[in-house]
Structure 1
Amino acid sequence: MKKPVIEFQNYHFKYDSQKQPTLKNINLTIYEGEKVLIVGPSGSGKSTIGHCINGLIPFSYKGEIQGSLKIMGKEASDLDIFSISKMVGTVLQDPDGQFIGLSVGEDIAFALENDCTPQPEMVKAVKEVAAMVDMGAFLDASVHHLSGGQKQRVSLAGVMVDNVNILLFDEPLANLDPATGKHAIHLIDQIQKETNTTVVIIEHRLEDVLYRHVDRIIVVDDGEILADQNPNELFSTDILEKVKIREPLYLKAIKYAGGAITKDLEPADFSRFRAETFREQLRKWYEEVTLNEEPPEAEPILELNRVSFGYTPKKETVHDVSFTINKGEMVSIVGKNGAGKSTISKLICGFETPNAGKIIFSGQDITNESITERSLKIGMVLQNPNHMISKHMIFDEVALGLVARGVPEAEIRERVEETLKICGLYPFRNWPISALSFGQKKRVTIASILVLQPELIILDEPTAGQDFRHYTDIMEFLMELNRNGLTILLITHDMHLMLEYTDRAIVLCDGRKIADDQSVRILSDPQLIEQANLKETSLFELATKTGFTDPIKFVERFIAYDREGRNHGK
């Protein structure tokens, strides 16, 4: 009999700052050596459960607790946060917020130094754990010069070195490119198997986590546990659909074709899933779906002509990049961490000036135009809305750019109110920004750019950290803007977003453009996927597994059908 390591019994929690409890009657037991995934919509309470497990509640987030929580058999209320940290190691969504040391070795050693571990013992332990996370060759490297995936591995090593019993991962995939995310899930799985550590993962990207086996999925909604089942059982219910959590795309395709998912088909593990059961249903559905072939608008709005750039004279970040964006297009820019995606956006907006090449906008050379001049035509929305917001009130934030341009007050009011209506924020126009959710703040930052009436808008990771409902809300909102003529460039790691919302994608790798093609074709090219750290779509694999001679056409039809369904509220 496995021993319980986390036990919630009739557990309730209410933050001091809120009227209603965030967690209600939580009864949950997690056993030694288990790997458990916690999912739920934004605001459901899943992160709060994580905070209870690692001691941030009640030590950092104050509130009222009822019921019992035991960690390793000890009542959590009797423990201090230091004692809990020796049992539970947390790897945060943003590793930068977790670093203490300047080098990789120093950062991993931090917990051992606190314990006054003798140096020979410390060096040995650091080397061993660094090797486990494939960072043995980087012990002297600065943590700030690492890629996103490397930073996460260092964070993982920093908590593992303390021999914790439980590893808690809070959205480990949020800032990682697809292939690095896949490697992270593999690494977590490998460590869990080798050390028998209990692993708890909180994550929105369900299909990506299931790249490796999980024992149970806990579904949380409105502060309560809605389901606690093994993945195969869960996928044979409609619970995920009800709480607006994205199901794996291959299961969605089968449901569109009228297939019924049962647990004996092993739907949670694609490699074992008996997809061939649905061959005839998929073929019939495929033949009934029609594609609307609309000729794309071909008038260029933005052209990069052999653009090169380096932050230092001896090292180029962007090499000889050329591409054209047509008026009214919505295009993804994808590639691995450090590929040059954000640098390209800075060059387009004028935050940096190319060392060579030209940038053309609506037929005019803007290479040497100032940021101010370009901002009249091009808008940029950062990944984190908190990095853009500078006012307390929503109306004032959206009006800020117009005020700076000296627009008359009456016109400011008219334009701001119109933009707030477009963005679904008009009812909140007199609210403080602090009262908004992350997704609503994102809309405020989009509104603050839209009000300036740019012809092209660039969004960096528009859906990062969003649950499926908020993700869909934001993307449908952007689609509506695009249908009304706004040209949109999306910088993203999200292959679902690229596939479902943008017909075309530009792929960067090591500062070079290596592809510019239909999204579906890019995600069907194994060589390109490997080179750019992308990830094959399970739709393509489903089509191959069920005998379609042209898997690309199958994926195209799924995307067309899915879009049509969203447009008609299916």
Structure 2
Amino acid sequence: MKKPVIEFQNFSFQYRAQSEPTLHEVNLTIYEGEKVLIVGPSGSGKSTLAHCINGLIPFMYEGERSGTLRIAGETISDQGITLLSDEVGTVMQDPDGQFVGLTVAEDIAFKLENDAVPQADMIKRVFEAADTVEFTDFLEASPHSLSGGQKQKTTLAGVLVSDADILLFDEPLASLDPHTGQMTVELIDRIHRETGKTIVIIEHRLEEVLERPVDRVIVVNEGRIVGDMTPDELLCTDLLRTTGIREPLYLNALHYAGCKITAAMQPGHIDSIQLDNCIQPLQQWYNCVHQDELPVSEHPVLEVEHVSFGYEAGKPILHDVSFQIGKGEIVCIAGRNGAGKSTISKLICGFYRPSAGRIVFNGRDLSGDTIKERAEHIGFVMQNPNHMLSKPLLYDEVALGLRTRGVHEDTIRERVHEVLKVCGLYPFRSWPISALSYGQKKRVTIASILVLEPEIMILDEPTAGQDFRHYNEMMEFLNQLNRQGMTIIMITHDMHLMMEYGQRAVVMADGKKIADDCPSRVLVQPDTIAAANLKQTSLHALAVKSGVGEPNEFVGRFIAYDRGLRHP
């Protein structure tokens, strides 16, 4: 019989700053060598569970506890955070909160330095960890200068050098492009198989994690464990839909076709699912759906013309990039980590100036405009919410831009409350920012820009850290603004988002534009997918496996049908 290494028994926890507990009577046992996935909507208590396991609760975040929590057989009250860190290695949701070194190598070596590992052995182990995550070329780089995905690789390598028996990953895929995310899932799986360590993964991107086997999926909702079962058992229930978690795309299509999913069909992965009883209803559904081409705006509101740029002389990031954004369009900019996607947004907003080319807004060259002048028309939501937050209270953060513009307080209250309701933040309007989860902070930053009603909204990874329900609420609100004329640009790794909401996809690789087309066509082009670290969706795999329709057409019809359900 396997030994329990994480044991919650009737465990409850309430943060000192909150009036209600975040965790309620949790009973959960994770056994030695298991690989467990924990899912749940934003604010459900997933990250609080993680903080309990790695010792941040109670040693950093104070509050009231009841019940028992044992890690490796010892109650957490009998261990300090130093001892717990020897048992539990953590990759945090927010990489910036984990950096301590001036270079990537120093950051990876931090645990080894604290353990007084001899320098020769330390150098060897740091290089091996960096090589495992394919990051040896960046050992001398500053962690804070890296892209979101590169930062995630740094923290992952920092955990790999430790000898912890439990590895805890808090949303490890949040900032990664699809290909790199898949490589991370495979890496975690290989570590599990080769070392036998206990792996706990907390992640919104369920389908990506299930690319490799997990022993159990734990579903958390409103601070309680509401599900504890195998992936096959979970995916034939409605628990994901009722708790607001996105189910795999291939299951979406099968449900649209009226197929009944059972555990015996092995639905945990597109490769394992048995489709014998689904071919006929899937074919009937496919025959009844037609792909509609979205209209393309003929009036460009934003023009990027032959733009080149580098942060350092002689080291260009962007090479002769040109594209247009039509008025009222929803355009996704996609590509691998470090391809230059976020750099383009910073150039549009005026944070930097192009070394060549120009950016035109409504027919006018923006080169003479200040950041403030551009902000009157162009709103920008950064990838990391901690880079935007400046006020201690949520309401004041969202109201800040309107107050800066001199808007009357009554109007501010009305507009702030409206946006908070749409973003699912109204119940937390009086909360301190410090009490929010990473996903909730992300929504705060989006709300703070939405409330200003800009003509163009640029969102850098808007869905990172968001559960499916809040993702849909935000995107439907953005859709509503789009129908009223707002132009929306989304920098994203989320292929689901690109398919469901993008009218066009501009794809970047190595600082160059390599594609500009509708998402359904982009996501079936092997060369583009490989160059930009994108990934064919499971819809494509479902079409191939079932033999229903031509894969490109199948993906297009799914998108049309899905959009029709959301916008009848």
Give SS of 1:469's match.
helix
Structure 1 distance, partners of 2:204, 2:283, is 31
- Provide Cα deviations, 1:172-205, integer angstroms capped at 9, x if missing partner: 0111111111111111111111111110000011
User: What amino acid does structure 1 have at the position aligned with 2:498?
Assistant: M
Structure 2 distance, partners of 1:415, 1:137, is 49
Structure 1 distance, partners of 2:149, 2:394, is 35
Give the TM-score taking structure 2 as reference length. Answer: 0.92
User: What amino acid does structure 2 have at the position aligned with 1:417?
Assistant: E
Describe the shift of the 1:440–1:308 C-alpha distance in structure 2 as closer, same or farther (beyond 3 A): same
- Provide Cα deviations, 1:281-308, integer angstroms capped at 9, x if missing partner: 1110111224455533322111112111
Whether the 8 Å CA contact 2:133–2:157 is kept in 1: the answer is yes
Whether the 8 Å CA contact 1:392–1:432 is kept in 2: the answer is no
> Which residue, 406, 417, 421 being the options, matches 2:418?
421
Whether the 8 Å CA contact 1:394–1:429 is kept in 2: the answer is no
Percent sequence identity over aligned pairs: 58
Structure 1 distance, partners of 2:452, 2:233, is 50
Name the counterpart of 2:88: 88
Residue correspondence of structure 1 range 419-568 to structure 2 within 5 A: 420-421=417-418, 424=421, 431-432=429-430, 434=432, 445-446=445-446, 448-450=448-450, 452-567=452-567
Structure 2 distance, partners of 1:138, 1:450, is 36
User: What amino acid does structure 2 have at the position aligned with 1:353?
Assistant: R
Structure 1 distance, partners of 2:189, 2:428, is 48
Shift of 1:79: 1.3
Whether the 8 Å CA contact 1:379–1:449 is kept in 2: the answer is yes
Residue correspondence of structure 1 range 117-516 to structure 2 within 5 A: 117-135=117-135, 139=139, 142-144=142-144, 148-293=148-293, 295-391=295-391, 400-401=400-401, 404=404, 413-414=410-411, 417-418=414-415, 420-421=417-418, 424=421, 431-432=429-430, 434=432, 445-446=445-446, 448-450=448-450, 452-516=452-516
Unaligned runs of 5+ in 2: none
Shift of 1:93: 1.9
Give SS of 1:474's match.
helix
Name the counterpart of 1:58: 58
Structure 2 distance, partners of 1:395, 1:133, is 40
Shift of 1:449: 3.9
Describe the shift of the 1:383–1:105 C-alpha distance in structure 2 as closer, same or farther (beyond 3 A): closer
Name the counterpart of 2:25: 25
- Provide Cα deviations, 1:385-432, integer angstroms capped at 9, x if missing partner: 443344566776556545555x5x65x754773575366479969954
User: What amino acid does structure 2 have at the position aligned with 1:275?
Assistant: L
Shift of 1:135: 4.5
Whether the 8 Å CA contact 1:463–1:474 is kept in 2: the answer is no
Structure 2 distance, partners of 1:202, 1:419, is 31
Shift of 1:451: 5.3
Whether the 8 Å CA contact 1:94–1:175 is kept in 2: the answer is no
Name the counterpart of 2:7: 7
Residue correspondence of structure 1 range 94-105 to structure 2 within 5 A: 94-105=94-105
Whether the 8 Å CA contact 1:381–1:445 is kept in 2: the answer is yes
Describe the shift of the 1:347–1:151 C-alpha distance in structure 2 as closer, same or farther (beyond 3 A): closer
- Provide Cα deviations, 1:124-176, integer angstroms capped at 9, x if missing partner: 44454444444456555554555544543432332333311100000001111
Describe the shift of the 1:13–1:294 C-alpha distance in structure 2 as closer, same or farther (beyond 3 A): closer
Whether the 8 Å CA contact 2:504–2:517 is kept in 1: the answer is yes
User: What amino acid does structure 2 have at the position aligned with 1:238?
Assistant: D
Give SS of 2:37's match.
strand
User: What amino acid does structure 2 have at the position aligned with 1:421?
Assistant: E
Whether the 8 Å CA contact 1:232–1:266 is kept in 2: the answer is yes
Whether the 8 Å CA contact 2:307–2:358 is kept in 1: the answer is yes
Give SS of 2:101's match.
coil
Give SS of 1:345's match.
helix
Describe the shift of the 1:224–1:499 C-alpha distance in structure 2 as closer, same or farther (beyond 3 A): same
Give SS of 2:432's match.
helix
Name the counterpart of 1:113: 113
Shift of 1:434: 2.5
Shift of 1:250: 0.2
Give SS of 2:53's match.
helix
Structure 1 distance, partners of 2:442, 2:80, is 37
Give SS of 2:558's match.
helix
Structure 2 distance, partners of 1:127, 1:392, is 40
Structure 2 distance, partners of 1:84, 1:250, is 40
Structure 1 distance, partners of 2:237, 2:396, is 46
Shift of 1:102: 3.1
Structure 2 distance, partners of 1:304, 1:526, is 26
- Provide Cα deviations, 1:412-471, integer angstroms capped at 9, x if missing partner: 754773575366479969954637956676565445545555322211122211111111
Give the count of matched residue pairs. Answer: 565
Structure 2 distance, partners of 1:414, 1:139, is 50
Shift of 1:549: 4.0
Whether the 8 Å CA contact 1:420–1:429 is kept in 2: the answer is no
- Provide Cα deviations, 1:312-337, integer angstroms capped at 9, x if missing partner: 23122111111111111111011111
